[in-house]
Amino acid sequence: MNAKKLILWVIGAMVVAGAATLFLMQRQAEGELRAQNQALRQQLDQWSQLSADNERLSNLVAQAKSRPGLSQDQLSELLKLRGEVGRLRQQAKEVEVLREANRQAAAALAASQKPSAASTAPEPASADFWPRDSWQFLGYATPDAALQSQFYAARQGDMKTFMAYTTGEILEKMQKDLEGKSGAEMLEKMNREMKNLKSVRILKRQTLPDGTVSLTAAFEEAERTHESSLILKQVGNDWKIAGAGRP
């Protein structure tokens, strides 16, 4: 069996585990923005009618001022009209506020539907953020070091090292996944998955009751970012990838 094929189950597990969650979150955000946009449009329709009434009342007030000798009833009506005009002018200002809110909601919705252009300098590597270019061999003395070393080995095509530090359930599942696939097919998939992966951001570290460690991370690809967890187990003095967990 071609040893290079063993890397694919790990990478595939990270890619698939967070895809469904990411899709649901995006759809929910878009739905909320659309609902806000629709509500604002309905309010704008109501305020537009009030603005028309405002203009009509202003004309009536102007006409009343031009007529000499107003009766007491006419004077009272004029004062009422003046008060109504003032109220509608205030509502007209509120219309402008709603229009601006509607514009911002529409802009946010449009931004959520397309990738945003990079406008800031790339984030430097840190203990929790591993850009692709920063991956390096750090040994296997800690879970973080072991995981980054495995990413480095995968990118370098170092199958001997990668296989030596994979164990348990995940190794068994990888071997089963390899059945019936040619070496060329698995190698092509490996290269494709590794090429798409741009960075890894550690979100949570958790020691489990059985002594294993769960590392939850955000995996950034070319067009999306998803979350997934990997379980690492200590064997002797070294940590090895042993399984996939829940984010």
What pLDDT does residue 1 have? Answer: 43
Whether 203 and 218 have beta carbons less than 8 Å apart is answered as yes
At residue 144, the 3 state secondary structure works out as helix
Domain holding 153: CATH number? 3.10.450
**% the chain with pLDDT above 90:** 23
By mean pLDDT, which of 59-68, 127-136, 169-178, 195-204 is the weakest? 59-68
pLDDT tens-digit readout, 71-113: 666 667 766 776 777 777 777 777 777 777 777 777 777 766 6
118 domain-assigned: no
The reply to whether 65 and 140 lie within a common domain is no
- Asked if the structure places residue 119 within a domain, the reply is no
What is the helix, strand, coil percentage profile of the chain, to 5? 60, 15, 25
Same domain, 108 and 178: no
- In the prediction, which pLDDT does 124 show? 92
pLDDT at 117 exceeding the cut of 70: no
pLDDT band at 223 (very low <50, low <70, confident <90, very high): confident
CA 58, distance to chain mean position in Å, is 50
Q: In terms of residue numbers, what domain contains 80?
A: 23-112
The answer to whether the pTM exceeds 0.75 is: no
Q: Are residues 10 and 38 in the same domain?
A: no
